[in-house]
Chain A
Amino acid sequence: MTNGCGGHKYPNPLPDWKKVFVSREEFLKMLSLVLGGVIGAVATIPGVAFMLNYLFVPKKIEWVNVGPIEKFKEHETVEVGFHDPNTLPWDGVSGHRSAWLRRLPDDKFTAFATNCTHLGCPVRWESKADLFLCPCHGGVYYSNGDVAAGPPPQPLHQYPVRIVDGDVQLKVTPVLIES
């Protein structure tokens, strides 16, 4: 395999930049290299830009309805489902999301993202124990979202909540890309 071409002495494939406008050969080397670069750029840049298009799309942050206020009882935490406003029409069930909604006195609500702040696994509300538990690495949170035990570094992420015409609404912020 070695020395397949019998130790030929090759000319330098790269142009001698000092002579590109003097020597025909050096100019042709430069021309071909530059045009090759142009072809490469034209072929790849639009494709790569397209593949990263989501970095340029403005993020939709919308309020979503999760039900009438009277559906929720004070001091109870329940799962509420909604559709992510940032999904595409062919997303199917993978566009579904849920949150843990807790009703506090005086018509106040807190809504927690289901993602554990440790590594994003879905936390479960254990109502009798009054705790959120994460199945992945055993993170535990109190009912107010504060870390009770285990590896989570931060309290559960909260969605802003408002009440409009008797309906509870959550502001769906992109939890997975916000630290």
Chain B
Amino acid sequence: MMELLKKLGAWLEERTGLYEPIMHMLTHLVPPGSKWYYVFGTAIMTSFIIQVITGIALSTLYVPSAGQAYMTVQYITHEAPFGNLLRAIHYFGASAMILFVGCHAIRTYVMGAFKYPRELNWLTGVALLFLTVAMGFTGQVLRWDQNSVWTIAVGAEQALRAPFIGPYAAQILLSGTSVGSATLSHFFACHVFIFPAILILAIVLHVYLVLHHGISEPPVVGELVDPKTYKTKYEAMLKKEGKPFWPDAAWRDIVFSTLVVIGVVICAVAFGPPQVDRPPDPSLVNAQPKPDWYLLWYFALLALLPHAAEDWVILGFPIFIVLGMLSAPFISNKGERSPKRRPWAMAIVIFVITFVGALTVAGVTEPWTPNFEAKALTPEIIGAKSGPIFDGAQTFDTKGCLFCHTISGHGGQRGPDLTDVGKRLTHEQLTIRIVNGGYNMPAYAGNISAKELADLTTFLESRK
């Protein structure tokens, strides 16, 4: 039996010649120190393979028609056998991919792996990062629920701010003048054909470059990268102490990827697929569009900006991020690779992680959103059942103050908590504030009667 297989193998090798280059690739030498920090690339690859398989499977039931997509997603989620699990795996696979693309980018930046001769490894990696986010975003839109149609409206509105090309950019995003069939079909084509094709080409190029230059060795303080000598030194090091990738290094990649796959499946079973929102009917105005978790930080950034800075940030920030990431290997492609000797680079990494992390937390809690479900103030909180204080409390409710201000735990977070505003502001100051409004507060001068105003201030004064 073994004899027969060996013969078959030899026959195939003589006709294809594939064994030789594959083994050459698998056993390429890697630096001895490339250990657990080096597993993120394969983790991304593994999650991508999960995405391809689950994505193809989902496409066998999903119909990219504006009138029917929502129905098919509902069917896949609630009726089709395995559909719920499949959608969930596709969602958590995407999340894993984005998470590990982030880890991989941080790891290679921290270890200075983008320096000579691996500048193009970094650039193709940056392209892959943005393609991955683009895949996530287009995938979210394919759910084609209320959140999708309004998310596109939000995207179009941002594109519209670009000078001169704004209306064209918005039309390209919408594939027309408004959200509809063409929008969905174009997003579908991008998500399943165009972006994956570019993604696969970029992966091939990226992996080729990794093999061509070899895996970067762990940085050592004081060992400077000099383009004149780096390659010779690297080759000599590999010859002396390099280990074959298979199996000396590959086992760590496989172990980590296994954990990733198990993690994705556990999350999928435990949490299920993302909820499908209400139908994609833009005439239902009670909608609150929100991106998936990995773009929440950007959503929060747009909410917290000073209003005057908005145009600049909406247009400039994406360009700044892209150019900033692309320029990294050109700003410094030699010298120290060790994070211990690159304080500015480390400061940037810490800042980015803190910035994105803090904004993500803000994006989850959304303190700037009016609380449309605020519970009315109870008589106990008001402390009166009739009279001006009671009437003022009713005005506080009907005029929408409660959407943004909290009193004794009832209300929204956008404006200051008014539980003890009577201690801080006088009758006069309260009146001026209500009548004139402020940065984020409407001026109520034209929206409130003299009696309502008097009652309202009396009520607020009693908050001590």
* A residues whose Cβ falls under 8 Å from a Cβ of B: 1-2, 51-52, 54-55, 57, 59, 79, 81-82, 84, 86-88, 90-98, 114-115, 118-124, 126, 128-131, 133, 135-138, 140, 142, 148-151, 153, 174-179
Top-6 shortest CB links A-B: A92-B67, A129-B400, A148-B442, A120-B157, A174-B177, A98-B283
Which of A55, A93, A177 is B67 in contact with, Cβ under 8 Å? A93
Inter-subunit contact A150/B440 (CB<8 Å): yes
Q: Output the residue of B25, B168, B447 with the most chain A CB within 10 A.
A: B447
Q: If A84-B180, A176-B174 touch, does A94 touch B303 (CB 8 Å cutoff)?
A: no
Given contacts A130-B447, A131-B442, contact A122 B150 (CB under 8 A): yes
B43 to chain A, nearest CB (A): 23
Partner of B283, one of A96, A120, A138, A150: A96
CB distance from A92 to the nearest CB of B (A): 3
Give B210's nearest chain A residue, CB to CB. Answer: A1
Asked if residues A137 and B171 are in contact (CB atoms below 8 Å), the reply is no
User: In the complex where A121-B287, A122-B285, A138-B440 touch, is A88 in contact with B181 (Cβ < 8 A)?
Assistant: yes
* Contact present for A151 and B180 (CB under 8 Å): no
With a 10 A CB-CB cut-off, give which of A90, A119, A130 has the most chain B CB atoms.
Answer: A119
Q: List 10 A-B contacts (CB under 8 A).
A: A1-B211, A54-B182, A91-B66, A93-B70, A94-B144, A124-B372, A131-B442, A135-B288, A136-B369, A177-B177
Which single residue of chain B is at the shortest CB-CB distance from A151?
Answer: B307
Docked Cα-Cα span, A123 to B370, in Å, equals 11
Given known contacts A1-B28, A94-B282, is B369 in contact with A128 (CB within 8 Å)? Answer: no
B302 in the interface (beta carbon within 8 A): yes
Task: Find chain A residues with CB under 8 A from B66 CB.
Answer: 88, 90-92, 94-95
B414 touches A138 (CB 8 A): yes
Chain B residues whose C-beta falls within 8 Å of the C-beta of A176 in the assembled complex: 153, 156-157, 160, 170, 174, 177-179
A30 to chain B, nearest CB (A): 27
**Interface residues of B, count at CB 8 A:** 74
How many inter-chain residue pairs (CB < 8 Å) link A and B? 199
Tell me, rounded to whole Å, the shortest Cβ–Cβ distance linking A67 to chain B.
14
Interface flag for B175 (CB, 8 Å): yes
- Cβ < 8 Å to A, chain B residues 308-341: 310-311
For residues 253 through 297 of chain B, which have their beta carbon under 8 Å from a beta carbon of chain A? 279-289
Q: Is the CB of A84 within 8 A of B400?
A: no
CB within 8 Å of A: which B416-463 residues? 437-443, 446-447
Whether A137 lies near B28 (C-beta < 8 A) is no
Contact A121 B289 (CB under 8 A): yes
Determine which of B171, B181, B284, B368 lies in contact with A138 in the assembled complex, contact meaning CB atoms within 8 Å. Answer: B368
Complex Cα spacing A136 to B305, Å: 13
Q: Of A52, A55, A59, A92, which is in contact with the most chain B CB atoms at under 10 Å from its CB?
A: A92
A60 to B: closest C-beta gap in Å: 9
Separation of A121 and B176 alpha carbons in the complex (Å): 19
Mark interface residues in B155-199 (1 if CB within 8 Å of A CB, else 0). 011101100001110111011111111101010010000000000
Q: Are B288 and A91 in contact (CB under 8 A)?
A: no
The listed residue (B184, B288, B404, B414) touching A121 by CB distance below 8 A is B288
Given A94-B180, A115-B157, A138 contacting B280 (CB threshold 8 A): no
- On whether A129 and B178 interact (CB within 8 A), knowing A114-B285, A121-B287, A179-B160, the answer reads no
Provide the bound-state CA to CA distance between A140 and B154, in Å.
17
Check B180 against A91 for contact (C-beta < 8 Å).
yes
A84 and B281 alpha carbons, distance in the complex (Å) = 12
Q: Known: A1-B212, A54-B182, A153-B310. Is A123-B65 also a contact (CB below 8 A)?
A: no
Nearest residue in B to A123 (C-beta to C-beta)?
Answer: B285
Q: How far is the CB of A142 from chain B (nearest CB, A)?
A: 7
| Nearest CB on A from B173, distance (A) | 9
B181 x A87 contact (CB < 8 A): yes
Q: Which residues of A contact B279 (CB under 8 A)?
A: 93
How far is B446's CA from A115's CA once the two chains are assembled, in angstroms? 24
Is B400 in contact with A133, judged by CB distance below 8 angstroms?
yes
Please judge, given known A-B contacts A54-B176, A176-B178, A178-B167, whether A115 and B153 are in contact too, CB under 8 Å: yes
From the candidates B182, B285, B307, B414, name the one contacting A124 in the complex (CB within 8 A).
Answer: B285
Residues of B within 8 A of A137 (CB): 302-303, 368-369
> Is A98 a contact of B285 with CB atoms below 8 Å?
yes
Write the chain A residue with the least CB distance to B306. A151
On chain A, the residues within 8 Å of B375 by CB distance are: none
A129 x B302 contact (CB < 8 A): no
Query: Given contacts A98-B283, A123-B285, is CB(A1)–CB(B447) below 8 Å?
Result: no
| Least CB distance, B103 to chain A, in whole angstroms | 26
Q: Which residues of A contact B281 (CB under 8 A)?
A: 93-94, 96
